[in-house]
């Protein structure tokens, strides 16, 4: 309970000012397409040069927490996920916004983020040493199987059929191979200079989600000049609170899977939301409603991606290994003040470490409060005429993809992928499985190469990839997941026939 005695440091005027500023700023940055949590934190680091260590970290912690949640705003209202963490939020959240329920979707998103986020930080506070061991348990073979498990999820995610889902996933995996490969020292599919660095995940996200939408809006405006008027429904907060807590299954699945996956170095943040969404769907009696604007989808995805924030810092704070790009940036923020994370961080620098973690706890509450406050205004975006909306989203998409690494190449990639997706969508393919392929492909590939190099030096491939409790457990889950998808596909065909 040592952490309680450091709450005083969080409630000093300057700390609160930074906390509120970091939270509000983080929400806005997170809501801007292209400004991922990693970049938001990186942009703030130079400001912390001039602050005391504890204040600097409070600012960074608040920004990290709130950018992840802020990504839900553009995911829901514009169908542009701010970061990979918010992909799953678009699936049901945007469908709700289109129906005029943007305010409800945002309220649900922020409330589930609060629940997930607080749970994640509490895990960080109470179980850190235990969790650190768990984070280390995942070696190359386990990460490989975990990525394969993700691949099996692709088929059932937001598509007409398993086959179309898997095809989209394959396209994503192929896109991920583009660029210089520093694992094997080769160049793959570099047809143009812009592809040298590979397909940037954020630029791809923006293109795949935003551009088909923009094109659809332009096409609609062409046919029918009349402004579609959507009645934006107000939504009482108490109803949202009641709804979040009555959807216990989605909330629990989201929070737990987010916390567990968030812990795994190198994988966590990007897929936590998608995996939670998929699990919530499989366990729900109302499977068919997912993807049509079902509240369980938003609750599972958003509780998961904020639950991941706390545990994702465990490898950083205890082992000094940043488990995610954002954690790597935070490490820089710690080092600049001469604070070396490690097992003895809480003994050597409790006056910095605890207020940092506590501020993330308070930050969750502030984030939720401000998020809900803006929800009712933000939802009015649905009333903006389609033609203006299309132009605005296009502008944001170009700005967002350019700003990731100040490169016009990324803008071209974004436009090309988006145009391709527009046509693919007409044939019943969808963006989410494609993006998942783009994320999982490199994880599976690099871990397979590492694993097989280690295996060659050791007892052979089979022994390395197929023995040990964790490998076998993951393989079993993979088999169950494939079996489940196959069963559902057969059942659907029977119903259709």
Partner 1 sequence: MRKLIIGLAAVVLGMAGVAMAGNYPDRPIMLMVSYGAGGATDFQARIVTMTAGNEDALGMPIAIINKPGAGGRVGWNWFAKDAEADGYTLGAYNIPHFIAQSIKGGVQYDRDSFEPIANWGADPAVFIVGKNSPFNSMADVVAYAKENPGKLTFSGAGLFVGHHIAALQIEKAAGVKMQYVPTKGGGAAAMKAVIAGDVMGGVNNLSDAYRAREAGNVKILGVADVKRNEEFLPNVPTMVEQGLDVDDSSVNFRGIMVPKGTPPEVIGRLAATVPEMFKNKRVAGKMSAGGSPMHIMTRDEVLQMWKEREEYLGQLLQGL
Interface residue list for partner 1 (CB under 8 A): 38-39, 41-43, 45-46, 49, 136-140, 179-180, 182-185, 187, 193, 196-198, 200, 265-266, 315, 319-322, 325, 328-329, 332, 335-338, 340-344, 405-407, 442, 446, 450, 453-454, 456-458
Nearer to partner 1, 117 or 265 (CB): 265
Q: Measured from the CB of residue 43, what is the shortest distance to partner 1 in angstroms?
A: 7
**DSSP-based three-state secondary structure for 340:** coil
Nearer to partner 1, 187 or 492 (CB): 187
Nearer to partner 1, 36 or 430 (CB): 36
Q: Measured from the CB of residue 265, what is the shortest distance to partner 1 in angstroms?
A: 6
Q: Measured from the CB of residue 493, what is the shortest distance to partner 1 in angstroms?
A: 40
SS3 per residue for 205-261: HHHHHHHHHHHHHHHHHHHCCCCCCCCCCCCCHHHHHHHHHHCHHHHHHHHHHHHHH
| Residues 386, 425, 302, 329, Cα dihedral to 10° | -100
Q: Measured from the CB of residue 394, what is the shortest distance to partner 1 in angstroms?
A: 24
Nearer to partner 1, 238 or 406 (CB): 406
Q: Which helix (H) or strand (E) element contains residue 311?
A: helix 309-312
Nearer to partner 1, 186 or 497 (CB): 186
Nearer to partner 1, 336 or 391 (CB): 336
Contacts of 402 (CB under 8 A, 6+ apart): 34, 408, 410, 411
Question: Would you call 332 exposed, middle or buried from its count of C-beta atoms within 10 A (0-12, 13-18, 19+)?
Answer: middle
Contacts of 22 (CB under 8 A, 6+ apart): 44, 58, 59, 60, 61, 62, 63, 66, 363
Q: Measured from the CB of residue 183, what is the shortest distance to partner 1 in angstroms?
A: 5
Instruction: Pick the closest to residue 309 from 45, 90, 113, 108 (CA basis).
Output: 113
Quickly list H helices, 85-160.
Answer: 87-98, 102-136, 140-154
Q: Measured from the CB of residue 219, what is the shortest distance to partner 1 in angstroms?
A: 34
Q: Measured from the CB of residue 409, what is the shortest distance to partner 1 in angstroms?
A: 8
Nearer to partner 1, 288 or 344 (CB): 344
Q: Measured from the CB of residue 62, what is the shortest distance to partner 1 in angstroms?
A: 17
Question: Do 81 and 209 meet the contact criterion of CB atoms below 8 Å apart?
Answer: yes
Take residue 362 and report the two structure tokens written for it: 């308070």
Q: Measured from the CB of residue 266, what is the shortest distance to partner 1 in angstroms?
A: 6
Q: Measured from the CB of residue 297, what is the shortest distance to partner 1 in angstroms?
A: 30
Q: Measured from the CB of residue 122, what is the shortest distance to partner 1 in angstroms?
A: 24
Q: Which helix (H) or strand (E) element contains residue 24?
A: helix 13-31
Cα dihedral sign, 44-48-51-53 = positive
Instruction: Pick the closest to residue 367 from 73, 81, 32, 42 (CA basis).
Output: 73
Nearer to partner 1, 35 or 87 (CB): 35
Nearer to partner 1, 12 or 405 (CB): 405
Nearer to partner 1, 145 or 429 (CB): 145
**DSSP-based three-state secondary structure for 87:** helix
- Cα–Cα distance for residue pair 55/234, rounded to 1 Å: 38
Q: Measured from the CB of residue 192, what is the shortest distance to partner 1 in angstroms?
A: 12
Nearer to partner 1, 343 or 471 (CB): 343
| Residues 227, 298, 27, 43, Cα dihedral to 10° | -110
Placement of tokens 């990504």 in the chain: 71
Phi and psi at residue 233, in whole multiples of 5°?
-85, 135
Cross-strand pairs, 187: 180
Distances 427 to 36, 164, 421, 424 between C-alpha atoms, Å: 31, 9, 10, 5
- Cα–Cα distance for residue pair 344/351, rounded to 1 Å: 13
Nearer to partner 1, 224 or 344 (CB): 344
């Amino acid at each position: 309970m040592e952490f309680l005695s450091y709450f005083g440091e969080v409630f000093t005027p300057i700390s609160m000012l930074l906390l509120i500023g970091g939270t509000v700023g983080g929400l806005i940055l997170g809501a801007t397409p292209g400004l991922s949590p990693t970049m938001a934190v990186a942009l703030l680091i130079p400001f912390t040069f001039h602050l005391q260590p504890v204040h600097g970290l409070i600012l960074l912690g608040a920004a990290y927490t709130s950018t992840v949640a802020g990504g839900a705003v553009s995911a829901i209202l514009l169908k542009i996920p701010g970061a990979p963490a918010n992909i799953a939020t678009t699936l049901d959240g945007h469908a709700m916004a289109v129906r005029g329920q943007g305010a409800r979707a945002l309220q649900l998103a922020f409330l589930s983020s609060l629940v997930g986020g607080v749970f994640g930080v509490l895990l960080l506070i109470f179980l850190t040493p235990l969790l650190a061991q768990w984070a280390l348990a995942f070696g190359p073979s386990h990460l490989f199987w975990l990525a394969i498990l993700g691949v099996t999820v692709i088929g059932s995610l937001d598509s007409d059929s398993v086959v179309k889902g898997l095809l989209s996933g394959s396209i994503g995996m192929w896109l991920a191979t583009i660029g210089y490969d520093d694992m094997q020292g080769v160049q793959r599919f570099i047809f143009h200079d812009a592809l040298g660095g590979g397909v940037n995940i954020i630029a791809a996200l923006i293109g795949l989600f935003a551009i088909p939408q923009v094109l659809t809006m332009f096409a609609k405006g062409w046919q029918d000049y009349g402004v579609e008027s959507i009645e934006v429904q107000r939504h009482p907060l108490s109803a949202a609170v009641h709804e979040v807590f009555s959807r216990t299954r989605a909330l629990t699945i989201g929070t737990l899977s987010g916390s567990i996956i968030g812990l795994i170095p190198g994988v966590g943040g990007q897929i936590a939301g998608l995996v939670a969404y998929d699990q919530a769907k499989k366990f729900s009696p109302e499977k068919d409603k997912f993807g049509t604007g079902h509240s369980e989808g938003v609750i599972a995805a958003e509780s998961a991606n904020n639950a991941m924030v706390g545990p994702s810092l465990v490898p950083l704070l205890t082992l000094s290994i940043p488990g995610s790009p954002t954690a790597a940036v935070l490490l820089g923020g710690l080092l600049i003040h001469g604070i070396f994370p490690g097992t003895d961080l809480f003994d050597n620098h409790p006056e910095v470490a605890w207020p940092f973690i506590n501020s993330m706890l308070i930050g969750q509450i502030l984030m939720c409060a401000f998020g809900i406050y803006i929800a009712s205004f933000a939802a009015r975006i649905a009333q903006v005429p389609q033609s203006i909306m299309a132009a605005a989203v296009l502008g944001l998409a170009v700005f967002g993809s350019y700003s990731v690494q100040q490169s016009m190449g990324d803008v071209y990639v974004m436009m090309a992928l988006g145009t391709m997706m527009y046509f693919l969508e007409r044939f019943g393919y969808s963006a989410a499985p494609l993006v998942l392929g783009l994320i999982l492909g490199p994880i599976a590939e690099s871990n397979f190469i590492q694993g097989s190099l280690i295996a060659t030096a050791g007892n052979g491939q089979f022994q390395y990839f197929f023995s040990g409790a964790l490998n076998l457990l993951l393989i079993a889950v993979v088999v169950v997941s494939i079996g489940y998808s196959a069963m559902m596909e057969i059942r659907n065909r029977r119903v259709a026939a």
